[in-house]
């Protein structure tokens, strides 16, 4: 995979999967713009610069078109034109639908879906005139399976996946590919929050056929491949990285008779 010297923009890069992806791409020789609403992203970018390759950290609100535009313009001015956009900024909302606040709905849809639109739009304005680029959105298996009390999150992730499919066809033949990676449960601050609210780690692991949580590097490796010339013919795909979780429906002990 020849990524050296190319430029990547990664949203949600201050922690979790986004930070793991930014580190991985930087390790493959890419110049990386780390974008996040968390000011800590500035220090994280400085750490990457200390490793000897270009990086820049920027504070951005992915739900605001002006903030996105200014961040993308700054990234291009400092690093060069983008080859890769990774949409990884995400928030989570849970609770019974009848109790879900409009503010929580708007925040989840705004970051997880509108943010994908605004950042992809800004990236395309730089990529299309140059005839090449890659967009990879980090969504979730929650976009393809039904989960109770996660209506905003599931709806946003399903929307982001179909956004990927539609956009991939729209820009097909113009040198830009568009794909999604749908993680299952991954070691991150989001999983930590779920467990802190009372979820049993053992019960969660029982939902994953291969028996362990993903780590950010599992997703980062696939992002790097999708960003490469080797994946030039792969577009419009939603690829689950979940240890088989989205395929698996556990059967309670004793639910089947001996004849079955």
Q: Which residues contact 188 (CB under 8 A, 6 or more apart)?
A: 15, 16, 17, 216
Task: List the catalytic residue out of 72, 153, 163, 213.
Answer: 153
β-pair type (84-87, 7-11): parallel
Q: CB–CB of 140/157 below 8 Å?
A: yes
Sheet bearing 84-87, strands edge to edge: 55-59, 31-36, 7-11, 84-87, 133-138, 176-183, 238-241
Of 149, 140, 158, nearest in space to 219 by CA? 140
**Coil, helix or strand at residue 183:** strand
Q: 92 an active-site residue?
A: no
Of 246, 211, 20, nearest in space to 140 by CA? 246
Catalytic (active-site) positions: 153
């Amino acid at each position: 995979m020849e990524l050296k010297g190319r430029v990547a923009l990664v949203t949600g890069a201050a922690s979790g999967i986004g930070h793991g992806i930014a580190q991985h791409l930087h390790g493959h020789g890419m110049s990386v713009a780390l974008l996040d609403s968390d000011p800590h992203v500035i220090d994280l970018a400085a750490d990457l610069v200390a490793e000897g390759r270009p990086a820049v950290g920027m504070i951005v609100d992915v739900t605001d078109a002006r903030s996105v535009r200014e961040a993308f313009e700054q990234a291009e001015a400092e690093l060069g034109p983008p080859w890769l956009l990774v949409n990884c900024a995400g928030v989570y909302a849970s609770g019974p639908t009848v109790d879900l606040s409009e503010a929580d709905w708007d925040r989840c849809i705004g970051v997880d879906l509108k943010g994908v639109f605004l950042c992809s739009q800004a990236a395309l304005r730089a990529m299309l005139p140059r005839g090449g680029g890659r967009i990879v959105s980090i969504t979730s298996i929650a976009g393809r399976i039904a989960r109770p009390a996660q209506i905003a999150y599931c709806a946003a992730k399903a929307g982001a996946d179909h956004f990927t499919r539609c956009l991939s066809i729209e820009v097909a033949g113009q040198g830009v590919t568009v794909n999604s990676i749908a993680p299952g449960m991954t070691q991150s601050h989001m999983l930590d929050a779920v467990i802190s609210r009372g979820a049993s780690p053992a019960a969660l692991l029982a939902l994953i056929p291969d028996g362990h949580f993903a780590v950010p590097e599992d997703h980062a490796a696939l992002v790097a491949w999708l960003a490469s010339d080797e994946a030039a013919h792969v577009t419009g795909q939603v690829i689950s990285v979940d240890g088989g979780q989205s395929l698996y429906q556990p059967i309670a002990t004793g639910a089947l008779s001996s004849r079955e």
